[in-house]
Structure 1
Amino acid sequence: WKLRSKHGRDRLFADADELWTAACEYFQWVDKHPWKKVDFKGKNNQRVDIPTARPYTLTGLCLYLDCNVQYFTDFENALTDSEKDKGFSVVITRIRETIYTQKFEGAAVGAFNPNIIARDLGLVDKKDLTTGGEKINQHDYSGLTDEELAQLTHLTAKAMKAKNRDG
């Protein structure tokens, strides 16, 4: 290993468009390869395979991309303010939002187990014990530009990841 001229791994994708194309290929693969739920029907208990939707997952995407979740997260955290990296940041945010939305909507319509998906997405029922029944302030984002909303989404996702990682 000391003879290698460099250490570490090259980027999996030369640009953000390649990453998005590969992610879309994964999403299409998942859609075309549902799980088969086995059931037995009729008086003869004939076996029936029932196609069941498969949720998108970051782990599944990483397996498809031939990397692991830690590599993906480290790659995302190492992005800079360069134009090339901003492109990757936008695509990674879009990937995470696509995965989130497919799971959330799938659980909402009963395609996925709502309890499992809610835990996976970090959704919890909370009772407000801090405001003494007062209305919780909500923020009005209607005056923000698309770029500002995208930046807010990106920063919120980063903060949530850091919070989840640090406990």
Structure 2
Amino acid sequence: MDRPIPTDVEREVTPVDLIVSKADAEGNITYTNPIFMKISGYTQGELLGKPHSILRHPDMPKVIFKYLWDNIKEGRDVVAYVKNLCKDGSYYWVLATVKMAKNPDGSFRNYMSTRRQITPHAKEVISDLYAKLLEAEKEGGIEASEKLLAQFMEDNGIHDSESFNTFMLNLNK
């Protein structure tokens, strides 16, 4: 499937929209709810079995997904802002909560992500941060953006995944 060419058209995620998806251990989509398909513009058939990265907008720094995967693979939930690319090239911003679901015996079941609307304030702060991280990646690779993200976290009193999630949730108020 060809990647869409990004446009400057933003799709609205309303306060009642809750986007839900599930993925296997490799990040391939195994479930999508109807609102996910409505906002992204993809059909369920186009999404199932595909990696979540099918929706990755080029404005998203790789370091955010590295942080996310490093944590959820260890069983720690992650709350992060994501700018997704729709099938028609438009985009939408969401606050994503990603967690690992386990079977009763403790074994891996799937990854589950719920996404919801973000506030204008959160979008402004995160857009600025992500632009800086992306620029650092272009100039010095993911290592440079990791250093910049670590500095942002230190500057904001974020010392672990729990305080990261709390910061992200509070930013959306």
- TM-score, scaled to structure 1: 0.29
State the structure with bigger RCO (CA 8 A, min sep 6), 1 or 2. 2
Q: Identify, as 1 or 2, the structure richer in strand.
A: 2
Larger gyration radius, structure 1 or structure 2: 1
